[in-house]
Amino acid sequence: MKLANQVAIITGAGRNIGAAIAKKLGSEGAAIAVIDLDKTRGDKVAADIIASGGKAKAYVCDVSKEQDIIDTVKGVTADLGRIDILVNNAAISDNKHILDITKEQWDLTIAVTLTAPMLFGKYVAKEMIAAGHGGKMINTSSTSGFYGRPRSIAYTSAKAAIVNLTRSMAMQLATHNIRVNCVVPNKIGPPVGKEEFNPNRNVLNLRQREGVPDDIAKAVLFLVSDDSDFIDGTHLMVDGGCSTLMPGGDFKG
List active site positions. Answer: 155
Residue 86: C-alpha distances to residues 122, 210, 229, 230 (Å): 11, 27, 16, 18
- Comparing CA positions, the residue from 159, 67, 156, 167 lying closest to residue 120 is 67
- Comparing CA positions, the residue from 6, 13, 129, 138 lying closest to residue 63 is 13
First to last CA, the chain: 38
